[in-house]
Homo-oligomer: A and B are copies of this chain.
Amino acid sequence: MNAMGSISKDDVISIGQLSARTGVAVSAIRFYEEKGLLQPIRTSGNQRRFLRSDIRRVSFVLIAQRLGLSLHEIEEQLSLLPQGRTPNPRDWRQISQQMRRSIDKKIELLSLTRAKLDECIGCGCLSLAKCQLYNKADKMGASGATGPRLVLD
With A65-B151, A118-B100 given, is the CB distance from A59 to B127 under 8 Å?
Answer: yes
A4 within 8 A of B: no
Q: Interface of A with B (CB < 8 Å)?
A: 21-25, 28, 55-56, 59-60, 62-63, 65-68, 87, 89-90, 92-93, 96-97, 99-100, 103-104, 106-107, 110-111, 113-114, 117-118, 120-121, 124-128, 131, 133-134, 137, 141, 147-148, 150-152
Which residue of B has the minimal Cβ distance to A124? Answer: B89
User: Residues of B contacting A147 with CB < 8 Å?
Assistant: 24-25, 28
Could you say how many copies of this chain the assembly holds? 2
A21–B129 CA distance with the chains assembled, in angstroms: 10
Which residue of B has the minimal Cβ distance to A123? Answer: B89
Main secondary structure of the interface of A (DSSP, over half): helix
A125–B147 CA distance with the chains assembled, in angstroms: 40
A121–B92 CA distance with the chains assembled, in angstroms: 7
Whether A28 and B148, one on each chain, are in contact in the complex, defined by CB atoms closer than 8 angstroms, is yes
A151–B148 CA distance with the chains assembled, in angstroms: 20
User: Residues of B contacting A117 with CB < 8 Å?
Assistant: 67, 96, 99-100, 103
Whether A113 and B151, one on each chain, are in contact in the complex, defined by CB atoms closer than 8 angstroms, is no
Which residue of B has the minimal Cβ distance to A56? Answer: B126
Closest 8 CB pairs of A and B: A89-B124, A66-B137, A59-B128, A68-B152, A103-B114, A96-B121, A56-B126, A107-B110
A104–B67 CA distance with the chains assembled, in angstroms: 18
8 additional A-B residue pairs with CB within 8 Å, beyond A90-B124, A107-B110: A24-B147, A59-B134, A63-B133, A68-B152, A89-B124, A92-B120, A103-B117, A107-B107
